[in-house]
Chain A
Amino acid sequence: MPSEMDEFVATAREFLDANATRRSGSADLPEWGVGEDRITYFSTDPPEVDAAKVAESRAWQRTRYENGFGWVTGPRAYGGRELSTLHDLVYDGLEAEYDVPDTGVLSLIGLGMIGPTILAHARDHIKDRYLPAMYRGDAIACQLFSEPSAGSDLASVETRAVRDGDDWVVDGQKVWTSVAQHAQIGLCLCRTNPDLPKHKGITALLVDMSAPGVEVRPLRQMSGGADFNEVFLTGVRVPDDHRLGEVDGGWRVALTTLMNERATVGGEGAGPAARALSLPFLTELLRANGRLDDGATRRRLAELYADQAATEYLNHQAIRKLRAGTQPGPEASVSKLMYARNLTRGAHFAAEVVGPRLIADTGEWGTYSWTELLLSTPALRILGGTEEIMKNILAERVLGLPKEPSIDSRSPFRELRRSGTAGS
């Protein structure tokens, strides 16, 4: 008797076969010494290449949506299938067997995090307007959360929104905004009442990124590319019906987004960096550098591989738990911590093997190209929640350790000292 899941798999397989080409076997594994000598983590493509890739992403998302695979977990009213997270994972697993455009520009922030937030907190006509557009690939959404003075302490955002008739007028600066250069909408956390404690005076607004006063500037990161942005908001008018949740109730909205962020973490095992740090590729790296018989190098390779494999096993376990009906909790961040650690150690391991040819580009294949990954890995311990914040969450929510005594959760926001200057 075919189960409901079997039927889902068959339908998905039929769709993929009709619309995409299946990869041949191990075509995904990079071959040592062959092809482009680049090991990337961030995209760092020139703007015209980047724009072409975004167009491909949108087109593939539209194909998915039109065939009912654009939003597997979403409500039918917005083109979804109303199936479980497990179905979503199963679909991703199937799709990975096919050669299709990467849709990260749409999915990582917009479809994975902002979509569910809009669904949970927006008014119906706003949902009608944006959700189908997003899941059809027309509207890319970004997350206007972090600010220069509000990183780990997100609740201390200073961007102001002041009520003016039926509108809000927004002024401030956001930073580290992924995909803002491509986005049609942004979910913005604004300070609406500085006389309340910091968590209680925030309002969440859905900003039209093409509105007057919105300026997106690329932010060049230490690895050389510009994969994030600064977003300056100057007198930007946002209609009140674009508010998510209550006035001054934006922190709850932000928590919905952040919870979905944690849920998307862990499915990060693929990508060029992970492939470069896979055992076959590293083995070739050692062979090419005459280190395959070196005991100390072998020990480090074994340690690295053991941790990579165990992290993969951890993800298998998470999927089994999903299958058994258990929703992932804060423990999912273990996977993120391990992922950052494995990639960081892997990059430094490769650097050690390559030696001085990593500090100057000799043109030799598979040597200087490791610099890009090496220069990208510090980000992994910061983005999506710093390691320090993740550890606080694990210790407090999972192990039940007491919170640090704080004064800033109770005092009015305007009385807090910020950025090293006394508040007035």
Chain B
Amino acid sequence: MNGTGTGTAAPSETELGELRAAVRNFLAAKSDEHAVRTAMGSERGHDEKVWRQMADQLGLQALTVPAEHGGDGLGLVELGVVLEEMGEALLPSPFLSTVVLAATAVVASGDVAAAERLLPAIAAGTLTATLAVPDHAGSWDVGAGLRVTATGGRTGAVLDGIAPIVLDGATADVVLVVADGPDGPALHVIDGDAPGLARTPLRTLDPTRRMARLDLDGVHAEPVGDPASLTAVLDRVLDVATTALAAEQVGGARACLAASARYATERMQFGRPIGTFQAVKHKCADMYTRVQVADAAAREAARAVDGIEGAPAAGIAAAVAHSVCSEAFMAVAAENIQVHGGIGFTWEHPAHLYYRRAKASQLLFGGPAVYHERLLARVGV
């Protein structure tokens, strides 16, 4: 183990197990399949009552917010457990946009004023937020020009342009926007109801994860952090976000594996359970193998991002996890439909919801061509 970790101690398995049980019980009660489908069809795409209960009963939004800003100051190892459970239950929620993308960007920016304004409210569950990186390729390539520009000074800027696909962009209370300014690309924050901002909800492949287009026409914005450190900030956000997503993908993949194993045991054809046929049995074993490897990759990335002793470099482990978990979830979600046969292709069966989530997650930060190159860049090839 070529350790680069700074020596942070890992949380105990007992503590993680308790956290997992609490989240699992909560989601079993609040986010069963019926609840997921209801949220899917609702205007805002998620149940706001569940969002508040998540904060009030479990304090999940506060988990990784630094202690000085009203949070618990925990790391990705703990957050990963939460996201794995959310992924397994397919919870529709602005958690990834608010707690992972926006809060991480604010913390990484080192902007104390922005942190004091936004993080306590995020931790309390009273504020939702998101991050828009409106590059041309959809791969966080901010060096190649952005579709939103910023004019004005350091105390107040004006944003113009288009952010074509923004996670939870239609409902977020505040939006962090990376815009091209006089000093190059820089992070800004705007209010969700700011004058000049038009938010258009988009049709989405994955109905459990909402996207919107933002049109900005002279929108007032506050700069966040120093533009000189933007690349480092976005690298950190990407490491954290892909690591968090990896945990969610493992949860989704695990749900597909469990569904297939159950169905292969129960479904009778030719007078015997289909799981006795090696064609089906080996498919399930392959799914299990992919889930185990993805699980290890996601956990290693979380340890790396948290700087736990003995863990590999965060940038490498996060890129490995993003690639491995994206592909594992996609493969397992597809095979889950195959194991189920015809019933797996129906609208009322949940298999397609995982399939949709798997593909949308795989492409969320650019997709295979982008994440493979990103991995090679991180290892210096």
Contacts and interface: CB of A to CB of B under 8 A. Distances in A.
A298 B281 contact: no
Contacts of B300: 310, 313, 316-317
A388 interface: yes
B299 A313 contact: yes
A391 B286 contact: yes
B272 A395 contact: no
Nearest to A292: B381
B116 interface: no
A405 B276 contact: yes
A404 interface: yes
B293 A305 contact: no
Contacts of A279: 379, 381
B297 interface: yes
A392 B56 CA distance: 46
Contact of A391 (B285, B292, B297, B369): B285
Interface residues of B, number: 43
A404 B175 CA distance: 56
Nearest to A341: B289
B324 A388 contact: no
Contact of B281 (A307, A314, A337, A391): A391
Contacts of A380: none
B323 A402 contact: no
A305 to B, nearest CB: 7
Given A279-B379, A399-B261, A400-B261, A306 B278 contact: no
Contacts, number: 123
Contacts of A324: 13
A258 interface: no
A158 to B, nearest CB: 25
B1 A402 contact: no
Nearest to B258: A399
B68 to A, nearest CB: 31
Given A309-B316, A394-B289, A317 B276 contact: no
A283 to B, nearest CB: 5
B275 interface: yes
B372 A401 contact: no
B19 interface: no
B372 A302 contact: yes
A302 B293 contact: no
B331 to A, nearest CB: 13
Contacts of A394: 285, 288-289
A265 interface: no
Contacts of A383: none
A401 B284 contact: yes
Nearest to A318: B296
Contacts of A401: 261, 264-265, 273, 275-276, 281, 284
Contacts of A263: none
Interface centre among B288, B294, B295 (most CB of A within 10 A): B288
A54 B288 CA distance: 39
A310 B253 CA distance: 16
A299 interface: yes
Contacts of B265: 400-402
A401 B321 CA distance: 29
B261 A392 contact: no
A392 B281 contact: yes
A399 B285 contact: yes
Given A309-B316, A395-B282, A301 B376 contact: yes
Measured as residues with beta carbon below 8 angstroms from the partner, the interface class of chain A is 35 or more
A266 to B, nearest CB: 12
Contacts of B284: 395, 399, 401
A398 interface: yes
B320 interface: yes
A283 B379 CA distance: 11
A119 interface: no
* Chain B contact residues: helix, strand, loop or mixed: helix
A9 interface: no
A334 B288 contact: yes
Interface string A30-42: 0000000000000
A298 B312 CA distance: 22
Interface in A365-424: 388, 390-392, 394-396, 398-405
Interface in B279-338: 281-282, 284-286, 288-289, 292-297, 299-300, 312, 316-317, 319-321, 323-324
A303 interface: yes
Given A395-B285, A399-B284, A313 B379 contact: no
Contacts of A292: 381
A159 interface: no
Contact of B379 (A305, A316, A395, A402): A305
Nearest to B271: A405
A295 B373 CA distance: 9
B375 interface: yes
A403 B289 contact: no
Given A313-B299, A391-B281, A338 B323 contact: no
A402 B276 contact: yes
A311 B300 CA distance: 11
Contacts of A305: 320, 375-376, 379
Contacts of B297: 309-310, 313-314
Contacts of A302: 323, 372-373, 375-376
A310 B276 contact: no
B320 A311 contact: no
A338 B293 contact: yes
A160 B114 CA distance: 81
A307 B324 contact: yes
A324 B288 CA distance: 23
Interface string B244-268: 0000000000000100010011000
B183 to A, nearest CB: 32
A395 B281 contact: yes
Contacts of B372: 298-299, 302-303, 306
A234 B315 CA distance: 61
Nearest to B14: A324
Interface of B: 1, 13, 257, 261, 264-265, 272-273, 275-278, 281-282, 284-286, 288-289, 292-297, 299-300, 312, 316-317, 319-321, 323-324, 368-369, 372-373, 375-376, 379, 381
Given A292-B381, A299-B372, A402-B276, 14 more contacts: A302-B323, A305-B375, A307-B293, A310-B300, A316-B1, A324-B13, A334-B288, A338-B293, A390-B285, A392-B285, A398-B288, A400-B265, A401-B265, A405-B272
22 contacts: A298-B372, A305-B376, A310-B294, A310-B297, A310-B300, A310-B320, A311-B293, A313-B296, A313-B300, A313-B317, A313-B320, A314-B292, A334-B292, A391-B281, A394-B289, A395-B275, A398-B288, A399-B257, A399-B288, A401-B273, A401-B281, A401-B284
Of all A-B residue pairs in the complex, the 8 with the closest CB atoms, nearest first, are A302-B372, A391-B285, A313-B300, A401-B275, A314-B296, A310-B297, A306-B323, A394-B285
